[in-house]
Amino acid sequence: MGFITKDGLKQLLNYKYKPGEYTMLDNLMNIYWEACVKLIPKWVAPNVLTFIGWMLVIASYANMLRYDYTFKKILPDSAFFFASFCIFAYSTLDAIDGKQAKRTKSGSPLGQLFDHGCDSFSLAFFVLGICQATLLEKDDIFLIFIVSQIAFYTSNWA
């Protein structure tokens, strides 16, 4: 069987996701998220919501690149309004994809992996957007990028 032992395979097959506790903000936003998920038809797969949110993150940064890819120019306010809309929509879709999975009884470890993978990939665009907004130097951008990636991965390690 290679690298996987019988015990390891048994643990993998018996894996069950245990989410963390809600924060006070989660409890407040949950009212909004519950209302949003009821607007989604049951035939929409949770991974579709995740993918749409991920595409919005990419679209928000692509819009910034349209104005400047050197991190030297001040962007128009419309770029930041669009980015804030996309990030809010992304966070909403990211919050309701799990609720949609429970609602349709279609949750899976692969869906969780896809969700967390998209979150991980999105972080890079969030950081680049912040660096674009603050006109940081390239050495500072690199440092912030590395620190944010380390923080994200260590917080999701367990």
How confident is the model over 101-144, as pLDDT tens digits?
999 999 888 888 899 889 888 999 999 999 988 988 888 988 99
pLDDT in tens, 84-98: 999 999 999 999 999
Contacting residues for 130 by C-beta, under 8 A, at least 6 apart? 144
Distance of alpha carbon 80 from alpha carbon 83, whole angstroms: 5
116 assigned to active site: yes
The answer for 143, left when phi > 0, alpha when psi is -120 to 50, beta otherwise, is alpha
Structural domains of the chain in order of their starting residue, each with its CATH number: 42-155 (1.20.120.1760)
pLDDT in tens, 71-81: 889 999 999 99
pLDDT level of residue 158 (50, 70, 90 thresholds):
low
H or E element, residue 81: helix 77-104
Active-site residue (options: 66, 73, 116, 138): 116
